[in-house]
Amino acid sequence: MKYDLLYSSISNIQNQNNDLMTKLSSGKEVNEPSDNPLGMGQILDYRSALAQISTYKNNIDSSNAWLSTTESSLSSVNDILTQVKETAVSQASATATASTRQTAADSLQPLIDQILSLANTKVGNSYIFSGTRTDTEPFSATSSAAHIGPAVKAIGDAFDGSVSSGGTYTAGTSNKTYVVKIVSGGAIGAATYEVSEDGGRTWLAGGPQATGATINVGTEGVQLNFTAGTKDFAANDVFTVNAYAQGYYNGNGEELSSEVGSGVNMAYNVTGEAAFTSQGQGTVDIFQRLNDLKTALQNNDTAGINSQLDYLTQASNQITRYTALCGTRENGLNTSSSTLDDMNTRITGLNSNVEDADMAKLITDYQTQQVALQAAYQMAATLTSNSILNFIR
């Protein structure tokens, strides 16, 4: 019986020993959920938080890259506009002649081309001034009248007939992406559809209407024409058509944003619409004004040149406004970034408190265990040598 007792206390100590060894070799206090159930839950929570912080910081970095390119492009545009304005001022005065104005007009074109090139800047494969249509070059060299682009049938549509756009974009004041989505499938005339004016995010009131060979898309003059194929419409078939207001701009006015904090989405783009046109949020059509100035110079039109001077100031202000906005946003992002850094440090510390082992304490405990183990072994040895059998001869 005494041997049993001894054995169980030795094996107890050895079990505790094994536990200590695990903690010593991993450096962690919590190696299994059962070591500290609540603590394990906390550790997982901290890890999730740290991973999220890392994601936000990545997003901040990519937003910053976009913003700094935007800022430097706009800043360069502003420099050129200042140059243009100087030329315009000097050519508006009485000392200018037809030939100086002609020379000025000629020297204006390269500057306009430069601004065009800056307005079509890309970051990676994305145009930065196109709004959300980052695959489309935002500005053309020449102005176009209001027009409707071709109708596009989405690749996965069941409908295999043909679709074309029609009508005139008479009432439109800015570029729009119209989306027609089939609600309930069927043949032309039986299927129903709904219309979105904002690229498919929200749908116009009035509920689904019946399709037909020609349908009105929205209320601003855009139409779509359908020709039946072998397969009917299916629900969720999508048809897209872009409508362009008069001008040089081919993008839209939507913002791009990314998540830089929990539930915090920050816009990081400046649309060409706002910075360079008079559509949407913009007030001055810069390219139009520059081309008008060039025409006035070529025509030796003093009054014409004078009337552009004001617009040039407004243009400069418009560009400056958005340049400053970029700067403000960058500052905001940097603040967020350093806040995230602080959170990172704090949460790492909290995690370490729960998860990491106190090495000094572990080693001390280990030494104590060794002493206890030795004592137990010693006792086992002496027990076997003491028995009445030693004394009976």
Q: Is 126 helix (H, G, I), strand (E, B) or coil?
A: strand
| Least distance (Å) between residue 125 CB and other proteins | 7
| Least distance (Å) between residue 301 CB and other proteins | 40
| Tokens, residue 159 | 């409908």
Q: Residues with Cβ < 8 Å from 161, sequence gap 6 or more?
A: 188, 226, 227, 228, 229, 230, 231
126 is a site residue for other proteins (CB under 8 A)? yes
End-to-end CA distance of the chain: 25
331 is a site residue for other proteins (CB under 8 A)? no
What Cα–Cα distance (Å) separates residue 45 from each residue in 39, 218, 264, 339? 10, 49, 20, 19
Burial class (CB in 10 A: 0-12, 13-18, 19+), 385: exposed
Q: Which of residues 204-263 bind other proteins (CB under 8 A)?
A: 236, 238, 240, 252, 254, 256-259, 262-263
Neighbours of 117 (CB within 10 A): 12
Among 5, 171, 213, 375, binds other proteins (CB under 8 A): 5
Q: CA-to-CA distance for 337 and 214, rounded, in angstroms?
A: 53
Q: In degrees rounded to 5, what are phi and psi of residue 255? A: -100, 150
Given 3-state DSSP classes, what are the helix, strand and coil percentages for the chain, each rounded to the nearest 5?
A: 55, 20, 30
Size of the site for other proteins (CB under 8 A): 68
Nearer to other proteins, 45 or 301 (CB): 45
Among 205, 360, 381, 388, binds other proteins (CB under 8 A): 388
| Tokens, residue 53 | 């912080």
Nearer to other proteins, 186 or 304 (CB): 186
Among 70, 121, 129, 181, binds other proteins (CB under 8 A): 181
Among 104, 118, 131, 271, binds other proteins (CB under 8 A): 131
Q: In degrees rounded to 5, what are phi and psi of residue 53? A: -60, -40
| Least distance (Å) between residue 150 CB and other proteins | 13
Nearer to other proteins, 151 or 296 (CB): 151
Stretch that binds other proteins, among 77-85, 126-134, 293-301, 362-370 (CB under 8 A): 126-134
Nearer to other proteins, 169 or 311 (CB): 169
Type of residue found at 54? S
Q: Is 28 helix (H, G, I), strand (E, B) or coil?
A: strand
Stretch that binds other proteins, among 81-89, 128-136, 185-193, 306-314 (CB under 8 A): 128-136
Q: 225 has which bridge partners?
A: 164, 214
Nearer to other proteins, 68 or 83 (CB): 68
Q: What angle do CA 239, 242, 247 make, to 5 degrees?
A: 175
| Least distance (Å) between residue 88 CB and other proteins | 36
Nearer to other proteins, 2 or 113 (CB): 2
Q: 246 has which bridge partners?
A: none
Among 99, 125, 230, 382, binds other proteins (CB under 8 A): 125
Spacing of C-alpha 207 from chain mean position: 32
Q: Which of residues 25-64 bind other proteins (CB under 8 A)?
A: 26, 28, 30-38, 40-45, 47-48, 51-52, 54-56, 58-59, 62-63
Task: List contacts with other proteins (CB under 8 A).
Answer: 1, 4-5, 8, 26, 28, 30-38, 40-45, 47-48, 51-52, 54-56, 58-59, 62-63, 124-126, 131-135, 152, 154-157, 177, 179, 181, 198-201, 236, 238, 240, 252, 254, 256-259, 262-263, 265, 387-389, 392
